[in-house]
Chains A and B, each alone.
Chain A
Amino acid sequence: DVKVTQSSRYLVKRTGEKVFLECVQDMDHENMFWYRQDPGLGLRLIYFSYDVKMKEKGDIPEGYSVSREKKERFSLILESASTNQTSMYLCASSLARYSNQPQHFGDGTRLSIL
């Protein structure tokens, strides 16, 4: 089974801090994704990556950046955390760019910015 592991289930940070959310997958997937989930808004794509060192903006990239130095790891960075970034963050991976295989998700990180 595909395993997508997010570094924290719950995280509390302060406004202005630089926050790192880590995601690791163990199935040699090329694609990796970061979403945030808010009540009433569903899942919104922040950033995604099709390969090492590649990144592409999703629908709501403002205030975020990402890093993919190794194929299995995709990091989401909040450069200067703000209270409106309090949310549930979900990482996902899938096989390859045009394979249309399902995305597999991690358990999520509930991030609170105080």
Chain B
Amino acid sequence: AQKVTQAQTEISVVEKEDVTLDCVYETRDTTYYLFWYKQPPSGELVFLIRRNSFDEQNEISGRYSWNFQKSTSSFNFTITASQVVDSAVYFCALSDLNQGGKLIFGQGTELSVKP
């Protein structure tokens, strides 16, 4: 069965610190997709990234970077030089071909960045 685990329920950092959010997934399929979403206090989930299982290249977008490692079934998210505006709940999610577009979400990690 598919499963996504975000073991960190809450993380608190001081502004300008780097922070890594962990995501571990389980699936039996060889073709699957991984996603990260951000949910700020206002409530809407904002899509950040999608990565397919055949692309293990790490990705960087500004202060955000993602480390995909199939060997450990992990898709971790790092924010460099965190800012107060990064405070949000972050969700990791998994989809495979059998899910028909459904997402399996992790429980979310609440990140608090203090000034």
Contact = CB atoms under 8 A, between A and B. Distances in A.
Interface of A: 9, 31, 33, 40-43, 45, 48, 50, 58, 88, 90, 92, 94, 96-108, 110
Interface of B: 33, 35, 37, 42-47, 50, 52, 91, 95, 97, 100-103, 105-108
Per DSSP, chain A at the interface is loop
A100 B91 contact: no
Contacts of A50: 100-101
Given A48-B102, A97-B100, A100-B101, A90 B108 contact: no
Please give me the 4 A-B residue pairs with the lowest Cβ-Cβ distance, nearest first.
Answer: A105-B45, A108-B43, A42-B107, A102-B47
Contacts of A40: 107
A100 to B, nearest CB: 5
Contacts of B101: 31, 50, 94, 96-101, 103
B97 A42 contact: no
> Which of B35, B45, B103, B105 lies at the interface centre, i.e. has the most chain A CB atoms within 10 A of its CB?
B45
Nearest to B103: A103
Given A48-B102, A100-B101, A90 B45 contact: yes
A98 B97 CA distance: 6
Nearest to B9: A40
B102 A45 contact: yes
A98 B91 contact: no
B105 A42 contact: yes
Given A90-B45, A108-B44, A43 B105 contact: yes
B43 A98 contact: no
